[in-house]
Amino acid sequence: MRQIRRLLVDSFDGDFADEDWEHTVGGWHVVVADGDVPLSHASVVSRGLEVAGRPFRVGYVEGVATTPARRREGLASLAMAEVSEVLRHTFEMGALSTGLHDFYSGHGWIAWSSRC
């Protein structure tokens, strides 16, 4: 877990706080590694979400990152393929928050907005 946290801190240029780590741990972890060295990571954490008064059991995707030296090799795509399997078999819905919409839409994710 120490190596995964270091990967996340490095991947987010140090902008990965203790609170971010707390959101990432627990649940399922997908790690793409070269031997014992993690290169890419994603986790799925169980959360509750209510939509129009109906509760859903949601797999929330957290901590998606690839070590900077190995980006653009498809490693995060490998991790997300496994994450998608966990979501399909375990949860009613998958959710995440991102600024990288193009990456996730390439994996079948759609942007969702709601009125408050």
Domain membership of residue 116 (yes or no) is no
DSSP string of the chain, one letter each residue? -HHHHHHHHHHTTT---HHHHHHHSSSEEEEEEETTEEEEEEEEEEEEEEETTEEEEEEEEEEEEE-GGGTTSSHHHHHHHHHHHHHHHH-SEEE---S-HHHHHTTT--------
Q: pLDDT by residue (tens digit) across 38-70?
A: 999 999 999 988 888 999 999 999 999 999 999
What range does the domain containing 95 cover?
2-105
Domain membership of residue 110 (yes or no) is no
Domain membership of residue 26 (yes or no) is yes
Domain membership of residue 40 (yes or no) is yes
What's the CATH number where 22 sits? Answer: 3.40.630.30
Domain membership of residue 111 (yes or no) is no
Domain membership of residue 112 (yes or no) is no
Structure confidence at residue 26 as a pLDDT band (50, 70, 90): confident
Rounded Cα distance between 94 and 61, Å, is 7
Total number of domains in the chain: 1
Q: pLDDT by residue (tens digit) across 58-106?
A: 999 999 999 999 999 999 999 999 999 999 999 999 998 887 888 888 8
Domain membership of residue 53 (yes or no) is yes
Q: What is the pTM of this model?
A: 0.87
